[in-house]
Amino acid sequence: MESTLFIIVGLVAILAAAAMVLSRNAVHSALFLIVNFACVAFLYLLLDAPFLSMIQLAVYAGAIMVLFLFVIMLLGAERTTDTTRRFQGMMLGALLLAAVFLLVIGLPLVAGQFDLPTPEGASPVVRVAHAATDIGEVDIVVDGEVLAESVNFDEATDFFTTEIGTHTIAFSDHATGATLLDVEVELAGGDVITVVAYGVGTDVDVTVIEDDLSTVANDSGRLLLFNGYSETPVSLVDFGPNRELDVADMPLNDENGNVLVTAEGSIITAPQVSDTVVVDALAYGEAAFATLPAGEYTLGYVATNATEITVYPAPADTDGSFVPEEDTAVTAAVPQSQEVIRTEREYAIERNTEVLLFLTGERLADGRVRPFPLTLVTDATPAFGGPEGIAQTLYTAYVLPIQLVAILLLVAIVGAIVLTKREEGESSRRLLGRRRVSKPLASVIASQTGTSPVVEARRELPDPETPSEASGD
């Protein structure tokens, strides 16, 4: 369906452009150009670029074409347009060139002999972070070369591109140069990862987290939570306006919505979080994504102590007298208590960003260890066809083509001025080339007839000595 629409709209756009050029009436040409602009706007919609489509309609098909029509009607160009065809010999040449172009492009496509190059995957992107509180100041070494020096706890490098393949990333002691931790990563085209050293005391490790920097829709931000602190599952909870954890005894349900009951048929209730759970029960060493609308939140890290027991799933409308069958028994973790281990007040989530919350341990001056979220915020890829995406593309990948087009437009403007000036000169020469009359027309007639065609009418005043006739007796 999409291909059919593209072909139909593309043909209409081509026909409208041809009619605009061939039309002998300036108003008709302007109307055909509006049709062409509307077709281009529809093609932008097919490419999932609504911003460009609306700009095409509002600016080009709207404001600019209204200006064109206003100037045409004001100057009366629809009546004074020169309909004489110039350069008639070039029309045949243009048609021949167009036919050759279509033949060269069309034959390989129809015959299936047009080999399109296979695009290579984008270069892998890597970021390295230090979240191990007790290993001190480190240097980041990638494939034997130092990438960053004197990296402290709660610091990270910027994203950097590297080649596809296997790479060794090591954390070495800044003072001695000894390797403390290292990991080998296999990178493919388009991979975006964060390598993090984490842990407390001698229990340290390195993990590789896969980031997602794709566009976040609906004015939202993406959260990526990693539990590198608590052996107890941790949930990320939005406490809401009261900024406190709300817990209530509620029936347990499985992922299918079935109520969990005991072997005797009693519905199992347990203390559960009644606030909005952003990420639920994340085990140690695991990561999970979540999406939140842009805004400020009071986020809390909640550790849930649970006990595994044997339960039986039952339909949601089952009452307490339900007696389950033996073969439906499953093991489920029943929450016993919830503990808020850390609270982040007025935490801002920005639109179209990825926020990596790496929960790890931080050593305090008195020797205690508290939970600490290493927070790394990264802008996601701008939406295709949006203003930010267009600006980044134009001013990075297409700066040189834009400058070349600007120069071509400047040359075109200068050429139009020169051509217009030449036309005015030809008109002046044509006027000067007309027959000149050396004498006024009255002089010519007087010389041929002997009498002047100009009669001066003089008003004769009455003679003062002649008495005027009295009017009446």
pLDDT digits (tens, 9 = 90+) for 387-444: 777 777 777 777 777 788 888 888 878 877 776 665 445 555 555 555 554 555 556 5
Whether 44 is in a domain gets the answer: yes
Phi, then psi, of 86 in degrees rounded to 5: -105, 160
CATH number at residue 73: 1.20.120.1200
Closest CA to 373 of 245, 228, 238: 228
Whether 56 is in a domain gets the answer: yes
- Residue 321: the pLDDT is 56
Whether 27 is in a domain gets the answer: yes
- Residue 204: the pLDDT is 93
- Residue 345: the pLDDT is 76
Whether 60 is in a domain gets the answer: yes
- Residue 457: the pLDDT is 47
Whether 45 is in a domain gets the answer: yes
Can you give the C-alpha Rg of the chain in angstroms? Answer: 42
Element (H, E) at 273: strand 269-273
Q: pLDDT under 50 in the chain at which residues?
A: 423-424, 437, 457-458, 470-473
| Domain that residue 16 falls in | 2-84
Whether 190 is in a domain gets the answer: no
How far, in whole angstroms, is CA 13 from its chain's centroid?
A: 25
Whether 279 is in a domain gets the answer: no
Whether 68 is in a domain gets the answer: yes
- Whether the predicted model's global pTM rises above the 0.75 cut: no
SS3 content of the chain, % helix, strand, coil (to 5): 30, 35, 35
How many domains does the chain fold into?
1
Task: Work out the burial of residue 303: count CB atoms within 10 Å of its CB; fewer than 13 is exposed, 13-18 middle, 19 or more buried.
Answer: buried
